[in-house]
Amino acid sequence: MTSKSPIRAMDAAAMNEAAKLIRDGALVAFATETVYGLGGDATNADAVARIFAAKGRPSFNPLITHVPDIRTAHDIAVFDDRAVDLVNSYWPGPLTLVLPKNPKRSVAELTTAGLDSIAVRVPGSATARKFLNICGVPVAAPSANRSGGISPTRAKHVQMSLSGPDDGGPTMILDGGSCDVGLESTVIDLTTETPTLLRPGGLSIDDIETILGEIEIAGDDNTAPKSPGMMSRHYAPKAALRMNVKKPEKGEAFIGFGHISVLGQPNLSQDGDLLEAAANLFDVLHALDASKTKQIAVAPIPDEDLGMAINDRLRRAVHT
Ligand code: TXA
Ligand code: MG
């Protein structure tokens, strides 16, 4: 049997070690007031790809970026008056805001799944904020459980749900006891004219409406998807896209993988490494969009591990 991720009390010594691990691109699970998060450096696409691999998610959805304070949040997201009012009342706390990305200084494309918006939160737990402060980088952190599992509210739950460090799991689990809120943060989208609730959570709708007036609930009308996991809008390139192509047609841009590639065209991973391919995916798609490419062909990507999430995203691009 391979070893489990070590659990350490969330004291200064452990947090310093863990922060260094984060800065080096490794994964660390840590307690927040809502649930335990599986954290990685949000500016490091490889670290973020490792988060998706550890969770075993068959798709890429955008992740929440965690920062220690409001000032740091302003570095990565653009706040309007509504956002300022909300966070003055409820941060630190179980509230996540979806805001326009700060184009000058932001996170890896994979963190936001290629979107030009970013979900950001300052956790209510003082210990979590201290840890984020020591990290010195914004930390992407979904709940620290395997995809489809129950969100962990104790360090032990994380250890039971995820693989150990040798199999892609967190190098360390920071034990901050049991989570006070015990359910994920409320997610509010402020990129729309009317604020929209994307995910109900630890902060009540009434509390939010006290500040913003009436908000929209995603899924209220027939056009919006119903399940919380499906509520993020998806990035798709403007160009038409074909999958499982071994040889592009004339005039087609080609995205290679492993040895199936075209000289002078992008390759998601020369070595055929799915983690590297996931880390590169959105950058490559954005670069082709920027070059005004009309037609993109993509080499076959093995439909296993992170390849499933890559293929899921490519399939969505085919059908939009
Ligand atoms: O309580 C929490 O929020 C926990 C703890 C660890 O902080 N974190 C958490 O993170 O639940 P995550 O990454 O699993 O939450 C992602 C949610 C999803 O509902 C996703 O659709 C939404 O946030 N989201 C993230 N970025 C988005 C974006 N740019 N646009 C729309 N929705 C976004
Ligand atoms: Mg979750």
State pLDDT tens for residues 56-69. Answer: 988 999 999 999 99
pLDDT digits (tens, 9 = 90+) for 91-122: 999 999 999 999 887 899 999 999 999 999 99
User: Is residue 297 predicted with pLDDT exceeding 80?
Assistant: yes
Cβ(199) – ligand 1 distance below 6 Å: yes
User: Is residue 248 predicted with pLDDT exceeding 70?
Assistant: yes
Q: How much is the average pLDDT of 161-190?
A: 97
Q: Which ligand is nearest to the CA of 147?
A: 2
Distance 259 CA to ligand 1 centre (A): 35
For the sheet with 186-189, list strands across it.
Answer: 7-9, 172-175, 28-30, 37-41, 139-140, 64-66, 117-121, 95-100, 186-189, 196-199, 216-217
Q: How much is the average pLDDT of 111-136?
A: 97
- What Å distances lie between residue 303 and 62, 90, 163, 193, 308, CA to CA? 21, 42, 21, 39, 5
Distance 30 CA to ligand 2 centre (A): 14
Please write down the long-range contacts of 9-12, taking CB distance under 8 Å and 24 or more positions apart: 9/174, 9/175, 10/127, 10/131, 10/174, 10/175, 10/176
Distance 257 CA to ligand 2 centre (A): 30
What pLDDT score does 189 carry?
A: 96
Nearest CA to ligand 1 atom 3: 185
Cβ(140) – ligand 1 distance below 6 Å: no
Cβ(111) – ligand 1 distance below 6 Å: no
Cβ(145) – ligand 1 distance below 6 Å: no
Nearest CA to ligand 1 atom 1: 184
Cβ(118) – ligand 1 distance below 6 Å: yes
